[in-house]
C-alpha cells in the first residue's frame, strides 16, 4: 500500500463517520419533528454538535494527512496518524452524542485529534522549511 492509498483509506473512513453522524441528526430531527434548529430537544442538540464538531475538525486533519502522503511521508506514519484520527473521531462522536457533559469518549477523542493536528502541523511546517 502506498502512502496516498493509505491516506485515501482514512479519508474514506472519516467520510463514513461524518455520514453516520449526519444520519443520526436526520433521524433525530424526524423523530422530534423539528424542521430547522433544534427545537430544544436535548438529543438533537447533542447529535447536531457531534456532527458539527466532526465537520469542524476532520477536514483539516484529512488535508494534512493527504499533504503528508503527497510529500513522501512513510506509509506507517500515515497509518498511525490516520488510525489515531479515525479512532479519535469515533470516540468523540460517540461520547458527545451520548452525553453533553465530560465523557471518556470526548476527552480521548479530542486528545487523539489534537495530537494528530500537532504532529501533522509541525511535520508539514518543518518539511516546508527544510
The CA-CA-CA angle for residues 8, 19, 90, to 5°, reads 75
pLDDT for residue 110: 97
pLDDT 10s digits, 40-65? 999 999 999 999 999 999 999 999 99
The domain that holds 9 is classified in CATH as: 1.20.120.550
What's the domain count of the chain? 1
74 pLDDT more than 90: yes
With helix as H, strand as E and coil as C, how does the chain read?
A: CCHHHHHHHHHHHHHHHHHHHHHHHHHHHHHHCCCCCCCCCHHHHHHHHHHHHHHHHHHHHHHHHHHHHHCCCCHHHHHHHHHHHHHHHHHHHHHHHHCCCCCHHHHHHHHHHHHHHHHHHHHHHHHHHC
**% of the chain exceeding 90 in pLDDT:** 92
Domain with 86 in it? 3-129
Predicted structure pTM score: 0.93
77 pLDDT more than 90: yes
| Band of pLDDT at residue 100, cut at 50, 70 and 90 | confident
Amino acid at each position: 500500500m502506498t502512502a496516498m492509498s493509505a491516506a485515501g483509506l482514512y479519508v474514506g473512513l472519516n467520510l463514513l463517520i461524518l455520514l453516520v453522524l449526519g444520519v443520526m441528526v436526520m433521524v433525530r430531527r424526524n423523530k422530534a419533528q423539528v424542521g430547522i434548529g433544534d427545537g430544544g430537544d436535548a438529543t438533537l442538540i447533542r447529535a447536531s454538535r457531534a456532527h458539527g464538531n466532526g465537520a469542524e475538525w476532520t477536514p483539516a486533519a484529512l488535508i494534512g494527512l493527504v499533504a503528508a502522503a503527497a510529500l513522501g511521508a512513510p506509509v506507517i506514519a500515515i497509518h498511525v496518524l490516520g488510525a489515531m484520527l479515525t479512532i479519535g473521531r469515533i470516540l468523540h462522536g460517540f461520547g458527545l452524542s451520548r452525553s453533553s457533559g465530560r465523557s471518556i469518549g470526548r476527552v480521548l477523542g479530542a486528545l487523539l485529534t489534537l495530537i494528530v493536528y500537532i504532529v501533522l502541523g509541525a511535520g508539514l511546517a518543518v518539511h516546508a522549511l527544510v
